[in-house]
């Protein structure tokens, strides 16, 4: 199971590198949960609808630095280079039945916020 968790964690970041929404729709559970400094989303479709346009604006480059996987979870640390500077990020990925069920993202949101307008930031509060 840890190899599947590792593969999905790497796929998660690689999909954002390519902006591959089809991969994300296929590998995120419909009841996918995402928690980050911007808030919480409780389903795949609302998450993608809110985050995809912002990611296109705020992500200049993603580089995977480390991946650790065990059983049904993985941690992936990566650098998110924005137009305002680099953001070191760690995502905890939780997997069940071959799908990503939950991602908990940990990062300092200041640089990301600097790339987004107040209106754009407000759409990221999925709570």
Q: Which fold has domain 2-117?
A: Nuclear Transport Factor 2; Chain: A, (3.10.450)
Distance between CA atoms of residues 82 and 85, nearest Å: 5
- For residue 36, what are the β-bridge partners? 39
Distance CA 88, CA 31 (A): 27
Q: Where are the domains of the chain?
A: 2-117
Q: What is the reported pTM? A: 0.87
**Per-position pLDDT tens, the chain of length 127:** 699 999 999 999 999 999 999 999 999 999 999 999 888 999 999 999 999 998 888 888 999 999 999 999 999 999 998 877 888 999 999 999 999 999 999 988 777 777 777 777 677 654 4
pLDDT at res. 122 = 72
102-117 as b/e: b if 16+ CB within 10 A: bbbbebebebbbebbe
């Amino acid at each position: 199971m840890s190899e599947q968790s590792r593969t999905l964690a790497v796929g998660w970041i690689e999909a954002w590198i390519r902006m591959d929404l089809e991969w994300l729709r296929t590998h995120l559970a419909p009841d996918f949960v995402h928690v980050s400094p911007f808030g919480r989303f409780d389903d795949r479709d609302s998450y993608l609808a809110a985050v995809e346009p912002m990611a296109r604006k705020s992500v200049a480059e993603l580089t995977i630095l480390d991946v650790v996987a065990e059983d049904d979870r993985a941690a992936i640390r990566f650098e998110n280079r924005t137009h305002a500077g680099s953001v070191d990020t760690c995502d905890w990925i939780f997997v069940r039945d071959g799908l990503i069920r939950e991602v908990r993202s940990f990062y300092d949101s200041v640089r990301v916020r600097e790339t987004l307008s107040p209106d754009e930031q407000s759409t990221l509060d999925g709570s």
